[in-house]
Amino acid sequence: MGWYKAGKIAVTNGSKAITGNGTDFVTNVKPGFAFLGPDFQLYEIDTVVSATSATLATAYRGVTAAAADYGIFQTQGIIADLSAQVAALINNYGNIAQQFPDALNAISAAQNSAGAAQATAGAKYGKGNILGTVGQTGGAPTGAIIERGSNANGEYVRFADGTQMCTKLHLAVGDTAAFQSLPLAAAFVGNTVGVSLSFETGPNVGAAVDWYAFAATVSAHYTGGVAYLLYRGASMPVNGYVHVLAVGRWF
């Protein structure tokens, strides 16, 4: 704030009163401001009474004057008071202010955690790995959602929940006297497999499917399979195509 010197003032020797004309002490002057009188001496403003009236902290020592020029300016005392008030505000509300960085840090940490969780979920279930190699640890899926493959023993589909399906088109010979081994493309676990056979041409529909009988005699080199018996009428072709569908679990 610069000097305030609007209007004119009147002062009396030995008096603390300042009377203004065309002044606005209420808006522009505060207790503690410095007053430069017509005698070119500095005094301290004690109180502001009205827009045209103020008092000094000590009596005016100069010659009585009317319609005189003057000057009023802010002093360091006001700045010190303001500093004290600011210090009080910091003391009263500093703890609250301190909580804002903590809150921002917590928000940032939550965002990072959410981003990591989303990345982890994306790594497990993103469109880039819906198809791939399935896996599991302790019954929890660790790989892709669906795995599809094939080999000399047919085709298979594995799902992340443990379900597995094997299919095969097999050229069979009718009138088998004993169960015939038919390996499949992928291994099942335990007694979890259900098998169905259907015939394209050839043998009569008199097939028997016995997974358990076959599994009991399976050798280590087998990946899994079924055993079957075929019967045919005298006029039926000897050979026929058998469609095999096995459904069970891979873990």
From CA 205, how far away is CA 198, in angstroms rounded?
8
CB environment 43-81: b (16+ within 10 A), e (fewer): bebeebeebbebebeeebeeeebeeeebebebeeeeeee
pTM, two decimals, is 0.43
Residue partners of 210: CB distance under 8 A and separation at least 6: 179, 226, 227, 228
Structure tokens at 46: 């004690």
95 contacts 44 by C-beta, under 8 angstroms: no
Question: What number of other Cβ atoms are within 10 A of residue 88's Cβ?
Answer: 10
Q: Which of 82-86, 88-92, 95-99 has the lowest mean pLDDT?
A: 95-99
CA quadruple 183, 185, 188, 191: dihedral sign: negative
Q: What is the DSSP-derived secondary structure letter of residue 107? A: H
pLDDT given for residue 225 in this prediction: 63
The predicted-structure confidence for 36-74, as pLDDT tens digits, reads as follows 999 999 999 999 999 999 999 999 999 999 999 999 998
With 70 as the cut, is the pLDDT of residue 127 above it? no
Residue partners of 26: CB distance under 8 A and separation at least 6: 48, 50, 51
> For the chain, which residues make up each domain, given as ranges?
8-74, 140-249
Confidence at 223, pLDDT banded by 50, 70, 90: very low
From CA 150, how far away is CA 168, in angstroms rounded?
10
Confidence at 126, pLDDT banded by 50, 70, 90: low
pLDDT given for residue 78 in this prediction: 58
Q: What is the DSSP-derived secondary structure letter of residue 127? A: G
From CA 91, how far away is CA 100, in angstroms rounded?
16
Confidence at 34, pLDDT banded by 50, 70, 90: very high
81 contacts 68 by C-beta, under 8 angstroms: no
Q: Given CATH 1.25.40.80, say whether it is the number of domain 140-249.
A: no
* Residue tagged 């004290």 (tokens): 84
Tally of CA atoms within 13 A in the half-sphere of 116 that contains its CB: 6
Could you give the strand order of the β-sheet that contains 225-229, starting from the edge strand earlier in sequence? 180-183, 225-229, 208-209
